[in-house]
Structure 1
Amino acid sequence: MFGGVDGSGSTASLISMSGIAGIIELVGGLLIAIGVLTRLVALITTGEMVAAQFIAHIPEGVVPIQNGGELGLLYLAVFLILTVYGSGRYSVEHLILGRELI
C-alpha cells in the first residue's frame, strides 16, 4: 500500500510522468475543492485523465472494467461536468468577486 514506486519504497521524481500527475492532482484537487479557477483546473485534469486512459489503461484492454480504468473514466466525467458548469455560488471566487474568473 505505501511501497512507493513499483513497491521499491522510492519516490517518483517530480519531472517524471508520475510526478507531474501527482502535482496536477494535488494542486488541482485543492483548487477545485475551494473553488478557485475551477473550470481551468477541471479542463487540465480532464486532459490528465484522458492521457492516463490512453497511456496506462487502453493498452491493457478496451473495456474499462477489464483494464482497471473505470475510476479514471468516472473522474473524467466529473471533471467534464465541472468544466461546463463551473464551481457555483459557494466557491471562493463567487463569494469574493461575485463571479467566476474563467
Structure 2
Amino acid sequence: MREAAGPYAVAATRCVFGLLFFCHGSAGFFDLPKMPVNGGTTELTAWPAGPAAVIQIVGGALLMLGLGTRTAALVCSGSMAYAYFDVHQPTALWPIQNGGEDAAVFCWSFLLLAFTGPGALSVDGLLRRRGIAGPDRKTSRAAPYPR
C-alpha cells in the first residue's frame, strides 16, 4: 500500500510547495495575496528581488503543473540557496538566528523534487505516456523513419 501511495505523496508535496512558492513570488511582485508586513512590490529590474520573484512565479506554476519538474525544481532550489547565502547567512550562522528557515526548507524540498521527479498526476507523466519527449525525459534511440 505504501509503495502505491508514494507517487501521490510526491505529487501532493510538489503541488503544495509549488503553490507556496508561487504565492511567495506573487506577494513580492504583485502584492497578491496581501501580506501584513510587506516592503511594497518588487520591480522586475531590482537585483536580486526581481529575478527571484520571476523564478518563484514561473517555477511555482511549473511545479504545480508538474511540467519540466526536475529542471524547474533545480532552478528553484538554486535560487533559494542563493537567497539563503546572500541574504540570510551573512547576518548569523543558523537559519533560526538569521530568518532563513523558509529559504532553507524551500531549497532542500526543491532539491528533493529534482531527484524524485514529479510523482503522479503531472503534465510530465502525461507527456511521457503519450510518447512526447520533454526536457526531463530520455528519448528512445528508435530510427526516425522505418527501414
Q: Which amino acid aligns with 1:26?
A: I
TM-score normalized with structure 1 length = 0.85
Q: Is it true that 1:12 corresponds to 2:51 in the alignment?
A: no
Between the aligned partners of 2:49 and 2:95, the Cα distance in structure 1 is: 21
Select 1:80's aligned residue among 98, 107, 111: 111
Identity of aligned residues (%): 38
Q: Is the 8 A contact 1:32 1:41 kept in 2?
A: yes
Unaligned residue ranges in structure 1 (runs of 5+): none
Show structure 2 runs of 5+ residues with no match.
1-34, 137-147
Alignment of 1:5-44 (within 5 A): 5=39, 9=40, 11-16=41-46, 17-44=48-75
CA RMSD of the aligned region, Å?
Answer: 1.8
Using the size of structure 2 for normalisation, the TM-score is 0.61
How many residues are aligned here? 98
Counterpart Cα distance in 2 of 1:72 and 1:28? 15
Find runs of 4+ consecutive structure 1 residues off by over 4 angstroms.
none
Structure 1 residues 11-58: Cα deviation after superposition (integer angstroms, max 9, x where no partner): 322022111100100110010001000000000011101100111101
